[in-house]
Amino acid sequence: AIQMTQSPSSLSASVGDRISITCRASQGIRNDLGWYQQKPGKAPKLLIYAASSLQNGVPSRFSGSGSGTDFTLTISSLQPEDFATYYCLQDYSYPRTFGQGTKLEIK
């Protein structure tokens, strides 16, 4: 199975900051990667698919980049509602695999 490694595992930031989260695949996955946001007690929400395509309704401050093995989720200007846990997911091969998550906390 392809392993997905996210970094950092946790991150403290302030409203208005620009932050980036990275996800590395154990082998090349083209751009078959999505990013999900999960808030406590809620189901995950799709933010980005195909590494860089923004899901309908997701604010444009979210962006994704990368291809092959290295991917990045960037939030350009953090809003209070963005503090959550973020997961990457590869859909290149079976079994699908998630990263371990990055918890974004308020500084």
Task: Kindly write down the DSSP assignment for every residue of 41-60, as one continuous string.
Answer: TS--EEEEETTTEEPTT--T
11 and 101 Cβ atoms separated by less than 8 Å = no
105 binds another protein (CB under 8 A): no
97 binds another protein (CB under 8 A): yes
Interface region with another protein, contact rule CB under 8 A, candidates 11-19, 20-28, 39-47, 64-72: 39-47
96 binds another protein (CB under 8 A): yes
Q: What strands, in cross-sheet order, belong to the sheet with 4-7? A: 4-7, 19-25, 70-75, 62-67
**Residue 94: CB minimum distance to another protein, A:** 4
53 binds another protein (CB under 8 A): yes
> CA of 23: how far to CAs of 56, 80, 81, in Å?
22, 23, 22
66 binds another protein (CB under 8 A): no
User: Which residues would be at the binding site for another protein (CB under 8 A)?
Assistant: 1, 31-32, 34, 36, 38, 43-46, 49-50, 53, 55, 87, 89, 91, 94-101
